[in-house]
Structure 1
């Protein structure tokens, strides 16, 4: 059973990833805990019309032993629509109910990526693992979307993580988690930070880089693109530049010569379109 000291240890280990937790529940039994979680999260979601994310902490929780990460077990805590982040050492489960803003941004970027891969005639080679629960050493995590070579089922190389209610620091730490764990094959993490009540989105691409002072590889942001609204009521979303995803990192091979294979580019216009749809959900921008 997790204690207050283990939660403090987890807090230090996660460096802020627990900052977004709205409530803490002690795990007692599947039925009792499931009801408490459902009641809290549904009430929180109803208050804001399911716009924002809501996160709770469950202490003293253990997955059934030897449960494959890609299988939903007969446990009421495995509720569809919940994102799970589980720390085995602490028996701590972080449960997030994703809001409409979160889903809108991640889903639209994922749909664009799939279209671009198909246009390169590589769709048969891509594995779309989505939100499958993945093991990272002593941690189990669900992304908002994931892709990788079809030959590596459940081992994606590219992850997307979006956040609305969560802090930027929390989102950045998730990128570090995906890239720096030794059992992970992830080589690119796309982050999308949504600011509630503000017409601003920040897209990022995180990769592993050797640090100049010691040569040690650590996760670092390679690209960052801000999208803002310009022009008042009749304006438009404007992105600073495009966003690039490495073909070689995604497929773990170089593009073939004489084909349409190349790095995946999300244009400034496409990033602006994603932002517009998010802001429409917030009521900050009129529908076209």
Structure 2
């Protein structure tokens, strides 16, 4: 095998265009140096290069009748092929490593809800999740086979009834905070349109922490409100049973801003609410919105709180 033939073999091998016999030749050579995926030390790298050089030298025939200049060319070609083969093996190792990493990457099942929709999910461990409107949650396919039972609330609101398992804590991860429980029932509100995340405990106890290690421990009928901009928790009393009312079509708002109110109306009815009154930025709302009521009935109730009026055009409502 002359240098050009060996170069062609490596090129075809990298393009997966070789015969089984040719593939076996290169694979056996490669496998003898591919015992682990660790980085190759300088000493081992030199050993590999020496092996490659020996292989090339044994397959490159230099005619004795040629002048010395041709011998120099042959060895130069052999050296070039050594670099080519070494690079090819490194590329192949990188491809194999990437494929192994992709195979080991976690796989998730994603559940989403639409406007006005509430979805109930039964988890493999016997826990139950209710997903509020316009929400999204991810659950790993290996959920029940890891040290922790972890779910990701990427958007929106969910109520959890977690089956007790002291050996496998249950974690709810949002963009800002993580809630850790053993067995309890609680609500997590983490809509991206809001500047806070709220965790309300109905039964049991939970630990809520942010990415910086700040933590709040909740007892039943307590709420931890985490302000994203300030990166701080505020604890307050809150009826834990009321926090799950939206499951049955009754959404309770407590000291809510106009922005949160508008978001809630949109989630339930699919109607966009805006304001032409600058005072609405200062308003706070304590109200229970019932999905059984029409949007017009709900808007009349909302406007009665601060003596406003509203006008509806198709799926848009303006408050004055």
- Fold similarity call, TM over 0.5: no
Task: Return the TM-score normalized by structure 2.
Answer: 0.27
Instruction: Give me the TM-score of the superposition, normalised by structure 1.
Output: 0.29
More helix, by proportion: 2
Indicate the structure whose relative CO is greater, using CA pairs within 8 Å and at least 6 residues apart.
1
Q: Tell me which structure has the larger Cα radius of gyration.
A: 2
